[in-house]
Structure 1
Amino acid sequence: MSWRKEQRRAERGYHHGNLKEALLQAALGLIAEKGAAGFTFADAARMAGVSPAAPYRHFRDRDELLSSIAQRGFEQFETVLAEAWDDGRPDTLTAFERVGKAYLAFAREEPAFYSAMFESGLPINVNPSLMAAGERAFAVIRAAAERLAALSPPGTPRPPALMIALHIWSMSHGVASLFARGDAARRKLPMSAEDLLEAEVLIYLRGLGFPTDKRPSAPAEQGDQKPAGLRAGPWGTAK
């Protein structure tokens, strides 16, 4: 759900006393316009149509307001990634591809949330709820990496699944931040952001020795019915 639709509902709700939601949506609008560091507490109050003192009824300061937005963003992000992963159905690689597409789509469709989540400069350990929401979102990527690592032939040297998850997350975040958002670097690409990430992760997986020319056959994992090519997806041969 985009922040614009939520904002319209929040504005209607505020007339019935929903000040907290109105402030959250006002801040989201400002982030979309100016970035996570580009507005003040007073700006949020002004956009919500209330006095500069009103936000203190619900938020200690601007950082707490930003933290609430980032937490909501991570909660939505987790839902999007989990739906894309779908517990690895119908097979790990197909589901992995969907997660990559979902990552880039969220960054493109929810740039204000994405900015609050990753560009606000908030120390994540200050807010336990924000930290927990971020960990739950990352857990989806880690689960996908663990399933992917399990496809390796026995005895093949591999980094730990956590390291693979961090590497893939870093690649995805870089592509998303630079090329998959409305406020991206705007450098002209000879390919889509999805194709760029696909190539990047394909090279990474080949470097680790994953069989990128042929998908491992069953019974490597339950649900794979027959061998198939290891298809390239947004995460590279997998995303």
Structure 2
Amino acid sequence: MPKRGYHHGNLRRALVDAALQLIEAKGPTGFTLSETAKQAGVTPAAVYRHFSGREDLIAEAAREGYEIFADVMQYAYDTHQPSALAAFEATGRAYLAFARKYPGHYIAMFESGISVNSSPELARISARARGVQERAAQELSQHIPPEKRPPTSMVSAHIWALSHGVVELFARNSPGTQSPFPPEALLESGIGIYLRGLGILPPDS
């Protein structure tokens, strides 16, 4: 088997790519470092030049995922300015788009059990991703009277939870949970109901 990545002096990259493929195919606990090495075309001992073990490798996949995720969220937010409502809704949809396009990263981030506080770098970049949605929520919340305004972090957490639920139940092809509606429609209607409850959107006529 050719030593992909390692032949070009990029062993770390080859190992992360191999791990992402295995995570997507088998889950975060369904593969070994030996399988990762084989997938990358190197010996098992070579893995330890860059990673202390499987958890360390998955944590790197999660860190990389959060980097991409933060960029996706920021792009969604920026391209829907100056409308606070459009920017807020776009950050919710960006969650779904990310999960579909980067399933290996998504699983490493949210289904592997790796804590975002497992390293300072992972904590920093995950906070950047959350910060984009919190900023969008803060701008949108200005349309709510102060005495009725929930904490910005709560609004952001609610939409994060709604987005995550739609992804986990209906966008990841879980057996027995096929929705009669497209995930995008579920998410959009859910956000609409939530924002109407806050008084940001007018009730349906």
Matched, 1:46 2:38: yes
Matched, 1:189 2:184: no
How far the C-alpha of 1:134 sits from its partner, in A, is 0.8
Q: Go from structure 1 to structure 2 and tell me whether the alpha carbon gap of 1:155 and 1:127 turns closer, same or farther (over 3 Å shift).
A: closer
Rounded to whole Å, the distance in 1 between the matches of 2:142 and 2:29 is 41
Contact 2:92–2:160 (CA under 8 A) maintained in structure 1: no
Q: Tell me what 1:7 maps to.
A: none
> Which sections of structure 2, spanning at least 5 residues, go unmatched?
none
Q: Tell me what 1:223 maps to.
A: none
Q: Tell me what 2:22 maps to.
A: 30
Matched, 1:121 2:113: yes
Question: CA-to-partner distance for each residue in 1:211-236, whole Å, 9 max, x for gaps?
Answer: 3349xxxxxxxxxxxxxxxxxxxxxx
Q: Tell me what 2:196 maps to.
A: 206
Q: Tell me what 1:220 maps to.
A: none
Matched, 1:174 2:161: no
Q: Tell me what 2:141 maps to.
A: 149
> Which sections of structure 1, spanning at least 5 residues, go unmatched?
1-9, 215-239
Letter in 1 for 2:105: F
Other structure's SS at 2:98 match = helix
Letter in 1 for 2:51: F
Question: CA-to-partner distance for each residue in 1:73-114, whole Å, 9 max, x for gaps?
Answer: 000000011000007513111222222222111111111110
How far the C-alpha of 1:196 sits from its partner, in A, is 0.7
Question: CA-to-partner distance for each residue in 1:5-60, whole Å, 9 max, x for gaps?
Answer: xxxxx93x421221111111110110111112211112111211211111010111
Rounded to whole Å, the distance in 2 between the matches of 1:155 and 1:19 is 54
Rounded to whole Å, the distance in 2 between the matches of 1:103 and 1:196 is 13
Q: Go from structure 1 to structure 2 and tell me whether the alpha carbon gap of 1:87 and 1:145 turns closer, same or farther (over 3 Å shift).
A: farther
Q: How many residues align?
A: 203
- Could you list the structure 1 runs, at least 4 aligned residues long, displaced by more than 3 angstroms after superposition: 183-186
Q: Tell me what 1:76 maps to.
A: 68
How far the C-alpha of 1:124 sits from its partner, in A, is 2.4
Rounded to whole Å, the distance in 2 between the matches of 1:39 and 1:209 is 48
How far the C-alpha of 1:209 sits from its partner, in A, is 2.8
Q: Tell me what 1:231 maps to.
A: none
Rounded to whole Å, the distance in 2 between the matches of 1:126 and 1:18 is 25
Rounded to whole Å, the distance in 1 between the matches of 2:69 and 2:201 is 30
RMSD value, Cα: 2.0
How far the C-alpha of 1:132 sits from its partner, in A, is 1.0
TM-score, normalized by length of structure 1?
0.79
Identity of aligned residues (%): 48
Rounded to whole Å, the distance in 2 between the matches of 1:14 and 1:186 is 41
Q: Go from structure 1 to structure 2 and tell me whether the alpha carbon gap of 1:96 and 1:131 turns closer, same or farther (over 3 Å shift).
A: same
TM-score, normalized by length of structure 2?
0.91
